[in-house]
């Protein structure tokens, strides 16, 4: 039986623990009451997509990485470019290479149907990365949740903060350190390259220039990836089992069969090489470390509390920008293909703006709903009357 002294401490410890949990932290139970079907809904769409095409699992895993390394895991990579906005999709590490956006759209539509306006795009990426890994035979982990979505993106940061495949080990280490990730995280997370494909442009220099490459392996790759041309010709990151999440990636490295220069760099120093060997000999240690590092990566600078928004369409920010008129120095969204000559009701919005709030438009007759529909699609989730969305008409 507990002594009175011990019992006295219990409530204090509980209060302390709750206090810690509340301070902007993510929680695996975040949607348990807000949207009990969130996790199963995400998983169902991911499984269907990866069944259809195994590589999609790799592409979804990579999206989460490229999201998190650029101003934190905030869904910024998902924002489409528009006439007035340049996002991250054309950044060097992303352009012509990141994929899976249609699957994210499908997931988002499914969770919106289950729980409108509740589940963030950033959380969808974190869950899809986990579900993809599991489906392809990798480890599972509990995904901390409660991220909110950015209203913006950063092309410059996408170009500087996502490491290039030509990086040497010291550059890789510092780029991970910039995100609060260790050398151990670098080695375990690089194990993601046990699945998926890379373009010729990503490894051309390695197969023609590097000395630490198996010559038969290099010769085979050179056939598919000439010195000039065929830039988008694809090869397996894990030459052995590209559709299976296992530890073969590390075995390849010991045989000088890493596809990317950056991959093979992990065998250059004794610290990283000994970890590579550990993961070859102890696949369960790789799985355990990978799961831990994924949680760590997923915790990079999330937007929580009143920061950020829940985007309804992961490709679009919610800032009322459809209402901005074109003028001599500015081209807005009114002439974007979905709106040009078809979106109407702007003068009604102007009238209403002088009176009640924008939200009240929905209560006015059906002929005015159309513009609100487009506005809402772009704008729901924005904290009402928040700063920075004051429009004069
Ligand atoms: C360590 C630094 C890293 C570098 C330099 C790097 C670089 C690359 C490059 C160049 C590609 C091929 C892109 C293309 O040619 O289209 C690629 C693919 C991939 N990367 Fe990484 N990556 C790194 C770390 C990571 C991490 C941390 C993850 C996940 C947690 C990851 C997951 C993937 C996956 C799954 C693919 C295959 C994607 C597909 O097939 O669509 N990578 N990476
Ligand atoms: C939000 O609207 C402003 C225009 O006021 C625009 O500059 C910004 O890029 C928009 N954000 C997105 C993601 O469209
Ligand atoms: C992105 O790739 C496309 C073709 O894949 C190319 O036309 C375009 O110039 C590239 N954009 C940038 C910014 O590199
Ligand atoms: C975008 O990223 C660059 C490089 O990390 C940084 O210097 C800049 O301040 C960022 N811009 C915004 C608007 O956050
Ligand atoms: C690694 O690459 C960086 C940037 O290209 C360079 O400054 C540095 O000297 C390189 N380090 C080694 C050990 O090669
Ligand atoms: C192929 O890639 C190289 C370098 O990565 C680039 O200089 C060249 O313009 C690309 N060729 C085409 C046809 O895009
Ligand atoms: C080999 O390396 C040199 C020097 O870094 C570079 O100029 C050349 O383009 C590389 N060769 C290939 C085929 O990429
Ligand atoms: C790693 O080893 C390769 C091949 O020996 C060499 O080209 C490269 O510069 C080395 N990198 C570092 C950071 O020492
Ligand atoms: C054009 O429209 C933009 C966005 O509404 C505004 O910031 C700018 O001041 C306008 N310029 C002129 C000349 O009216
Ligand atoms: C918008 O529609 C008008 C009239 O149909 C057309 O002249 C114009 O080119 C269109 N603008 C865009 C950006 O599609």
Domain boundaries, the chain: 26-160, 163-294, 321-379
Give distance in angstroms: CA of 166 to centre of ligand 5.
10
Which numeric CATH code is attached to 163-294?
Answer: 1.10.420.10
Ligand 5 site, residue 268, Cβ cutoff 6 A:
no
Ligand 3 site, residue 232, Cβ cutoff 6 A:
no
- Ligand that comes closest to the CA of residue 92: 3
Give distance in angstroms: CA of 154 to centre of ligand 3.
17
| Domain made up of 26-160: CATH architecture | Orthogonal Bundle (1.10)
Which has more pLDDT, 20 or 315? 315
State the number of CA atoms in the 13 A half-sphere of 218 facing the CB. 17
| Residue 317: pLDDT band with limits 50, 70, 90 | confident
> Measuring from atom 4 of ligand 3, which residue has the nearest CA?
96
pLDDT at site 332: 61
> Measuring from atom 4 of ligand 6, which residue has the nearest CA?
201
Q: Check if 26-160 and 163-294 are the same fold.
A: no
Q: Give me the mean pLDDT over the 318-324 stretch.
A: 58
Q: What pTM value is reported for the model?
A: 0.80
d(C-alpha 254, C-alpha 266), whole Å: 10
76-127 pLDDT per residue, tens: 999 999 988 999 999 999 999 999 999 999 999 999 999 999 999 999 999 9
The set of protein residues with a Cβ atom below 6 angstroms from ligand 10 is 335, 337, 340-341
Q: Please indicate whether residue 66 is annotated as part of the active site.
A: yes
Which has more pLDDT, 297 or 340? 297
- Which among 167, 168, 265, 272 is the best mutation to test ligand 5's pocket, defined by most ligand atoms within 8 Å of the CB? 168
Ligand 4 site, residue 154, Cβ cutoff 6 A:
yes
Ligand 4 site, residue 160, Cβ cutoff 6 A:
yes
Residue ranges for the known binding site for heme b are: 193
Ligand 1 site, residue 187, Cβ cutoff 6 A:
no
pLDDT at site 12: 45
């Amino acid at each position: 039986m507990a002594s009175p002294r011990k019992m006295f401490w219990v409530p204090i410890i509980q209060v302390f623990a709750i206090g810690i949990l509340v301070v902007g932290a993510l929680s695996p139970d975040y949607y348990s009451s807000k949207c009990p079907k969130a996790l199963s809904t995400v998983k169902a769409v991911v499984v269907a997509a990866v069944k259809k095409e195994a590589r999609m699992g790799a592409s979804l895993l990579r999206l989460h990485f490229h999201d998190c390394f650029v101003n934190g895991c905030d869904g910024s990579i998902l924002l489409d470019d528009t006439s007035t906005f340049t996002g991250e999709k054309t950044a060097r590490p992303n352009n012509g290479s990141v994929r899976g956006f249609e699957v994210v759209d499908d997931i988002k539509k499914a969770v919106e149907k289950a729980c409108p306006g509740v589940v963030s795009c950033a959380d969808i990426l974190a869950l899809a990365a986990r579900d993809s890994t599991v489906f392809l035979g990798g480890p599972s982990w509990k995904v901390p949740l409660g991220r909110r979505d950015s209203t913006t993106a950063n092309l410059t940061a996408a170009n500087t903060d996502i490491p290039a495949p030509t990086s040497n080990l010291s550059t890789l280490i510092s780029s991970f350190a910039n995100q609060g990730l260790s050398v151990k995280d670098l080695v375990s997370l690089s194990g993601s390259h046990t699945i998926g494909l890379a373009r010729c442009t990503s490894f051309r220099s390695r197969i023609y220039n590097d000395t630490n490459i198996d010559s038969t392996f290099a010769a085979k790759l050179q056939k598919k990836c000439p010195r000039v041309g065929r830039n988008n010709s694809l090869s397996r990151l894990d030459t052995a089992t590209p559709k299976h999440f296992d530890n073969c990636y590390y075995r390849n490295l010991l045989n000088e069969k890493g596809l990317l220069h950056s991959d093979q760099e992990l065998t250059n120093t004794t610290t990283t090489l000994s970890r590579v060997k550990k993961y070859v000999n102890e696949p369960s240690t790789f799985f355990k470390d990978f799961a831990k590092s994924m949680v760590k990566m997923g915790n990079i600078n999330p937007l929580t509390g009143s920061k950020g928004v829940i985007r309804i369409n992961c490709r679009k920010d919610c800032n009322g920008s459809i209402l901005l008129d074109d003028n001599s120095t500015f081209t807005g969204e009114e002439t974007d293909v979905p709106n040009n000559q078809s979106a109407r009701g702007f003068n009604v919005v102007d009238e209403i703006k002088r009176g009640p709030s924008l939200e009240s438009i929905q209560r006015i007759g059906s002929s005015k709903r159309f513009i609100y529909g487009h506005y809402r699609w772009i704008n729901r989730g924005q904290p009402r009357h928040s700063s920075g969305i004051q429009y004069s008409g």
